[in-house]
Amino acid sequence: MDRRQAWEAQGFWLEKALISPAEVEEIRTHFMAWNDERRSAVADGIDPSSSDPLARYPRVMHPHRVDDLSKRFLLDERIRDVLVNLLGEEPLAAQTMVYFKPPQARGQALHQDQAYLRVSPGTCVAAWIALDPCDEENGCMEVVPGSHKLPLLCPVEADLSKSFVNTTLELPPGYKAVPAIMEPGDVLFFHGNLIHGSGPNESLTRFRRAHIAHYITAEAKEVWTGYKPILRFNGEGVELNDAEAGGTCGKVTESGIEMVAGHLTAPNSLH
């Protein structure tokens, strides 16, 4: 099955060894130093005294806005070329994140990225760069093949002992999450409606770090304002309308979903 066939049938594509070992080490070293600087300042939500590993290694949101290295990989031509092959045209760039996921850290329960970005028309697309070997022990990504064909599902309450976000999705009959085993430099591309998530890092010694970028399809006219500014791959800005941050399921934020019916509130930000 080639890229396009896999994308249309499964909603994701794993591109092996797209990023070189030297570049992986560059990203990994850069953001570990970034976190050391935040810890020394006891800033950005870091709590060195906490027993929660994620309080010592909180995720980094939108680093490309201030960081040249992250912006370089957001607009990387190799990632662009795969996206064009999958989508048939060049998308727009919207967001970056870095997840550290240290030993014994919680994972992120099942979700759909489009619930957050609210792209219309079209959808968002993720490019998830593995910076460490990723397997079931250290909480690799889990994807639900074919779930990109589903609409956005309303969330239910998640187990906060296993997930740092407070909501999850119940899989419809016939759908099953499968592990995405990855090596450093592999890039997992996936559709905005694809259900995905990860379990806790059960390892005592191994990180599961990743640099993630989100894109939006070229026909988009609106996106949630929290993801602006939107960029072309040449670095130029693009003006889009503001989408509402939520829908019939409730209000969506970067740190969780505040459900209307279930009265769930978003957890404290781990930015």
- CB contact at 8 A, 239 and 232: no
End-to-end distance of the chain based on CA atoms, in angstroms? 38
- Which CATH number fits the domain that encloses residue 238? 2.60.120.620
Per-residue pLDDT of the chain (271 residues; tens, 9 = 90+): 799 999 999 999 999 999 999 999 999 999 999 998 876 655 455 677 788 999 999 999 999 999 999 999 999 999 999 999 999 999 999 999 999 999 999 999 999 999 999 999 999 999 999 999 999 999 999 999 999 999 999 999 999 999 999 999 999 999 999 999 999 999 999 999 999 999 999 999 999 999 999 999 999 999 999 999 999 999 999 999 999 766 667 665 554 444 333 323 233 333 2
* Position 96 in a domain: yes
- The CA radius of gyration of the chain, in Å to the nearest whole number, is 17
* Position 12 in a domain: yes
CB-CB neighbours of 236 under 10 Å: 8
- Output the pLDDT for position 118: 96
* Residue-number span of the structural domain to which 190 is assigned: 3-153+174-243
Q: What is the DSSP string of 63-95?
A: GGGT-HHHHHHHT-HHHHHHHHHHHSS--EEEE
Tokens of 109: 């329960």
Tokens of 182: 């990855």
* Amino acid, single-letter form, for residue 84: V
* Position 70 in a domain: yes
* Position 270 in a domain: no
* Position 109 in a domain: yes
* Position 141 in a domain: yes
How many structural domains does the chain have? 1
* Position 183 in a domain: yes
Q: What is the pTM of this model?
A: 0.91
* Position 10 in a domain: yes
Q: How far apart are CA 114 and CA 216, in angstroms?
A: 10
